[in-house]
A = this chain, B = another copy of it.
Amino acid sequence: MMKVGQVHYRSLWADESSGVIHIIDQARLPHVFETATIASAEAMADAIRSMRVRGAPLIGVAAAFGIALAVARDPSDESISRASTLMRTTRPTAVNLAWAIGRMRERLATVKVSERLVAAWDEAQAIADEDVALNESIGRHGLAILEREYAARKRPVNILTHCNAGWIATVDWGTVTAPIFMAHERGIPIHVWVDETRPRNQGLLTAWELAGGGVPHTLVADNAGGHLMQRGMVDLVLVGADRVSRRGDVCNKIGTYLKAVAARANDIPFYAAVPTPTIDWGIEDALREIPIEERPEDELRVVRGLDAQGKFAEVLIASRATPVANPAFDVTPAEFVTGLITEKGYVRATEKDLLALWPRSRESKAYLT
């Protein structure tokens, strides 16, 4: 488990006795470390929408607990259906939400109303625990790649990452940070270029996590990555994903595609670290089929940080009269993806390779009706 200071934390944990969920408030990180208590499905939906809870794997887990909170109030079919819709509409791009909601509904459909509360709580907790195991397994497979890179180079391996696919974007470990933390613990020298990731600057979360783990890293503007690649300063790109199509198109934080195109132009491998619940077997062409969330304009106009007194503060960098567009994700077509690092192992980004690793998914559109 990851540490903040000397205390071990998960990014989200349930208190079954009092029937509430605790989260780390990511909207205030890394400036202020605060936890918050979520006591209703509505509050959980709001936390997901406002990105106080964020990261594709984590919002799946959060949505599962959101349904458990709804069941605690009212275990009827209608209540579960309402809570599912509430959760699903918080964020349109990540598939983990739909996956977790589908799994909760499937489980609860087989259970008597009187027994649903215990079942909901158990199932949500199982999803959370499995997420930790998925990430740990991704870590081991990613570690093998980093070990090979180091063996080939005999100097620190330079990884570029975009956004935050760290332990706070999951329940623990992180998809991208699991191999990084494991490599660092084994003494493999690595260095991470951390994209700031405008407009919400999630790179600052990644830098905060890496600093917490003692991993060498350097924060750069999103604009810098191409230049670093041209100069031989990036050995591989490693990012997370919000949704992956059955042929390996990677939908991830806006700006990922620019890094993938530049990586290709410079013969640098581009990997996405992806647990199974992030793969949407019902989608082939991500560019055409995945809805891209358009987020509030003020995410670009308002920047958060600390003022001269060290207090959490915001500044307006663009006039409210300035027109703004804020697409939150983009699609990297499979042709630009070297491969996916999954909990089942490394796989090339083609439908054939994906189906070889997940043979039962050939006809599956599980949980996505």
Chain A residues packing against B (C-beta within 8 Å): 30, 193, 196-199, 201, 204, 207, 211, 216-228, 230, 253-255, 257-259, 261-262, 265, 287, 292, 300, 303-308, 313-319, 321-327, 329-331
Contacts and interface: CB of A to CB of B under 8 A. Distances in A.
Which of A198, A218, A315, A329 counts the most B-chain CB atoms under 10 A from its CB? A315
Contact of A226 (B207, B219, B258): B258
A59 B24 CA distance: 47
A330 B254 CA distance: 21
A230 B313 CA distance: 36
A279 to B, nearest CB: 21
Grouping DSSP codes into helix (H, G, I), strand (E, B) and loop, the A interface class, with mixed when no group exceeds half, is mixed
A226 B322 CA distance: 21
A266 to B, nearest CB: 9
6 contacts: A207-B318, A227-B257, A227-B329, A230-B287, A307-B313, A313-B313
Contact of A204 (B308, B317, B326): B317
Contacts of A317: 201, 204, 303-305
Contact of A254 (B219, B221, B331): B221
Given A221-B300, A325-B224, A318 B204 contact: yes
Contact of A324 (B219, B254, B292, B304): B219
